[in-house]
Amino acid sequence: MVTVSRLQFAPVKGLSVVECDEVRLEADGVAEDRRLYLLAEDGSVATLREHPGLAAVTPALDLTAGTVSLAFPDGPTLTGSLDAVGEPVSATLYGRERPGRVLQGPLGEALSAYAGARLRLVLHDRAGLGWDEGPVTVISRASMADLAPGDDVERARRFRMLVEVDGPTAYEEDGWVGHRLTVGSTQLEVTERLGRCVVITRSPDSGRPDWAGLKQLVTVRGDIGLGVIARVTTPGTLRVGDRVEVGAPTG
């Protein structure tokens, strides 16, 4: 039996992921996932590639209350209002436009001081603008365990996937491409494998390089694919413990 073993998302792209017991999935994905991003001084989206130390900053986003908080390691937790937005901005990343508004207040200043570079915190205009490859990413616990060092929690934070499942053998999820998945009240269509980037080679705590993950992937798998991408065909709620049923091919 295949079940959901972990759910996590990144409220702010480039900061730490957060774990949760359930998420609401709409057609554009989880409304809170990558809902904010960091804009560098040159107008580009700042990521963990340029500022790996930001992996240690833990965000909390409450869309109902309209607040975002940032917990800095060995430092303060700062909270700002999502209503305190200023000028409209836009940036392009992986071929997608990322329109939004700059969040006013101390959060951007604190992130800039921590990163040692001027950064602005931007709230996307709507859900679905923040993800890169697709609204849902899925990986099996066995796939991560076969490749990466550390315990289950550390591996999950390293790979930064929305849905982790338990039950399949390592890389079994590759065979789900082109199939429908029913997870709780939600239905997904798995569209493709996920190509990984250099972020997996860095510690999820410090951001420092600590594992030759891309080389390991090529050695073990012949390419840098790990996990799969899915789109949402029937919105619903995902919960840890939900059963995952693999359906017939979509074609």
Domain annotation for the chain: domains and CATH numbers: 2-28+132-249 (2.40.33.20), 34-124 (no CATH)
pLDDT digits (tens, 9 = 90+) for 7-16: 999 999 999 9
Q: What is the pLDDT of residue 200?
A: 94
Residue 175 has pLDDT above 90, yes or no: yes
Quick: pLDDT tens for 1-48: 999 999 999 999 999 999 999 999 999 999 999 999 999 999 999 998
Mean pLDDT across 108-127 = 96
**Residue 183 Cα distances to 23, 55, 131, 226, angstroms:** 12, 29, 20, 20
Q: Residue 144 pLDDT more than 80?
A: yes
Query: Exposed/middle/buried for 35, CB within 10 Å: 0-12, 13-18, 19+?
Result: buried
User: Would you state the structure tokens that stand for residue 243, as one six-digit string?
Assistant: 């059963």
Q: What percent of the chain has pLDDT over 90?
A: 88
Give residue 63's pLDDT. Answer: 96
Q: Is the pLDDT of residue 133 over 80?
A: yes
The answer to whether the CB of 239 falls within 8 A of the CB of 144 is: no
| pLDDT reported for residue 132 | 86
Per-residue pLDDT at 230 = 98
| 30 in Cβ contact with 24 (< 8 Å) | yes
Confidence of residue 206 (pLDDT cuts 50, 70, 90): confident
pLDDT (mean) for 123-137: 93
Query: What's the confidence (pLDDT) of residue 74?
Result: 82
pLDDT for residue 73 is more than 80: yes
